[in-house]
Structure 1
Amino acid sequence: MDNNFNNGSNWNNNGQSDNGSWNTQGNGTDQNGWSNNSQSDNGSWNAQSNGTGQNGWSNNSQSDNNSWNAQGNGTGQNGWSNNKQWNDQQNNGWNGGNNNSSWNNGNNNKGWNGGYQTPPPVQRQPVFFNGILNRSLLKEEARAIFKGNYWNAVLAVLLPSLIAGGIAAIVPPVGSIISWIFSPILIVGGLVLLLRIVRGMRNAGVGDIFSIFDKFGNVFLAYFTTNLFIGLWTLLFVIPGIYKSFCWAMTFYIIADDPDISGTEARRLSEAMMEGHKMEFFILQLSFIGWALLSACTFGILGIFYVAPWMATTNADYYDNLRMLYEARVGYRS
């Protein structure tokens, strides 16, 4: 069966629907459709299937109340994979229970978010559909997250610049050199805070900016080499330099997620994640140009306290969703 919802191209085959949902109890293999041998309730995609699905919602899983909440063991491609789920054994959050491959893993120190967490105040949802970004949905979701964590988001963007600028102003030119040395760890620390905000970490705060200072050497080297290579490409060939900057756009977020990772590996992962998404990310940045112009009219005040932190939150949310999409398709560091 190919490109049909169920046997004989029927939406419901040997099935039973409830409250206007797609409710199937078939036993075949489903491609580009909702899971077979499944049952949905209250308008959600609630699957209990044992087949194999492609481009669909997870097999042998169970979700309720419009959340993507998986407890399955099947195989999914270009969907939300099983045992690598957005929501594993939790309700309405990006939290993982005992799943070593989950994004937010309560029992995995190398997971995306280790430790205990509570669901985020904003109910997040996938922003990629068949691998294509819904830009409006992403920006609105990020705006809601930003408003719910206003001062943390502002300080994640503003504080690294204030600290670096303050150091530079103390004892020039020595202060400028010290500021240049410490800027990378502060900037990546700001991304750590933004990612914790986006993921709904209950203890997210300004202290997260300084949480990776013990990884100073590795973070500095990764940051420095990445910018050096982009600078060299730009000096030699402007267009390739711009192209490389978008290939490596996720590098510093990857380093924020794993401060032990080498710059070479972070750049490789970024290139793999950004394959097919560079123009999409470029357009996402351009979509803020009107706000940037409006910010200029307020002498930058609107930019500092609204546009820049909203944009930074949006980019962090984009990275988090893109990495989930990447892991669901090929696995982490494959």
Structure 2
Amino acid sequence: MWTREELKQNAKNTLRDKYWTILGVSVLAGILQGSFFTIITEMVNPTHTYLTVLGNYAIDVNGLIRLWIIITIISWLYSIFLGHTILIGAYKYFILSIKENPSTSTLFDFFKTSYWNIVKVTFFYQIKIVLWTLCFIVPGIIKAYEYCMVPYILAEHPEMESAAVFERSRMLTQNNKLNIFVLEISFIGWLFLGMLCCGIGILFVSPYIDITMTHLYLKLKEIHGIDQPELPPIPEIL
């Protein structure tokens, strides 16, 4: 079994000498994952009131709508073919950082190997969550927690087929979904403090959350005996 206190203490121990490097990787991964597209898309979103008002004077609203559609499509394609792969690279970095000091280039490891499998699995992962949420909000939330270990599993096993990835995540999170939800909720205080600094403070909290969730993944693997080193055979007593 695991406790929130144990995971958070493990995360603090990991971050003691690695906080700034992990923070840098988190920020870099967020930017490369496509955050800049999100910002631009919001800036040109024609539904915003200030743009509607300005549209009565100087802005071509129809042109703005076309621009918004184009940027949204580009953002979507970027996420599928580049952003998600970088994200899985970030999860690999977090896992490796528990016991070693990985290179920042780890973010791009999966462009060299198992690229198309990661694109496929992450695409199905997003589609599953979206469809479940569109059909039924509560089951969608449950499925999101059921599959929350998918990125970590892919980071360690990029060659694994989608069905096996989802099944392993389902096994790891079985009877743990509520506990994982409570673990995430326990960070609300930190996130609130981060928001007090114009939202920028959230960036400084993200390594704590990321590494805590990484320790959770490793703990769940340990509980289920997954990827554990085999014990040497016991010598026979003559």
Tell me: CA distance 1:228–1:177, structure 2 relative to 1, closer, same or farther (3 Å): closer
Residue 147 of structure 1 deviates from its aligned partner by: 2.9
Correspondent of 2:9 among 100, 123, 140: 140
Letter in 2 for 1:272: M
The residue type paired with residue 110 of structure 2 is I
Query: How is 1:101-120 mapped onto 2 (pairs within 5 angstroms)?
Result: none
Q: Percent identity?
A: 24
TM-score by length of 1: 0.55
Is 1:316 aligned to 2:185, yes or no? no
Other-structure match for 1:288: 187
What SS does the aligned partner of 2:184 have? helix
1-structure distance, mates of 2:158, 2:88: 9
* Aligned counterpart in structure 2 of residue 191 of structure 1, from 91, 95, 119: 91
| Letter of the 1:188 counterpart | I
Shift of the alpha carbon at 1:166?
5.0
| Local SS of the residue matching 2:12 | helix
Structural mapping, 1:268-283, within 5 Å: 268-283=167-182
Question: Shift in Å at residue 152 of structure 1?
Answer: 2.8
In structure 1, distance between residues paired with 2:76 and 2:140? 26
Q: Is the contact made by 1:152 and 1:205 (CA closer than 8 Å) also made in structure 2?
A: no
CA contact (8 A) 1:167 1:178 kept: no
Q: Report the alpha carbon displacement of residue 175 of structure 1 after superposing the two structures with TM.
A: 4.7
The residue that corresponds to 1:249 in the other structure is: 148
Post-superposition Cα deviations, 1:31-69, rounded to whole Å, max 9, x if no partner, equal xxxxxxxxxxxxxxxxxxxxxxxxxxxxxxxxxxxxxxx
Structure that is richer in helix per residue: 2
Structure 1 distance, partners of 2:127, 2:76, is 17
Counterpart of 1:313, as a letter, is I
Following TM superposition, the consecutive aligned residue runs of length 4 or more in structure 1 with deviations greater than 4 angstroms are 166-169
CA distance in 2, matches of 1:319, 1:260: 19
Q: Secondary structure of the residue that 1:319 maps to in structure 2?
A: helix
TM-score of the aligned structures, taking structure 2 as reference length? 0.76
Q: Report the equivalent of 1:47.
A: none
Tell me, yes or no, if the aligned pair for 1:156 and 1:191 is still in contact at 8 Å: no
- Structure number with higher relative contact order (C-alpha < 8 Å, ≥ 6 residues apart): 2
**How many angstroms does 1:239 deviate by?**
0.8
Counterpart of 2:27? 158
Could you tell me which residue of structure 2 aligns to residue 69 of structure 1?
Answer: none
- Structure 1 residue ranges without an equivalent (≥5): 1-130
**CA distance change for structure 1 residues 158 and 276 in 2, over 3 Å: closer, same or farther?**
same
1:239 maps to: 138
Deviation of 1:151 after TM superposition, in Å, equals: 2.8
Seen in structure 2, the aligned counterparts of structure 1 residues 150 and 226 have a Cα distance that, compared at 3 Å, is same
Tell me the residue number matched to 2:46: none
Please say which structure displays the higher CA radius of gyration.
1
Q: CA deviation at 1:158?
A: 1.4
* Structure 2: runs of 5+ lacking an equivalent: 41-66, 231-238
C-alpha root-mean-square deviation of aligned residues, in Å?
Answer: 2.4
Counterpart residue type for residue 248 of structure 1 = Y
Closer/same/farther in 2, CA of residues 299 and 243 from structure 1, 3 Å limit: same
Which residue is 2:235 aligned to?
A: none
Amino acid at match of 1:279: L
Confirm or deny: 8 A CA contact 1:156 1:194 kept in the other structure.
Answer: no
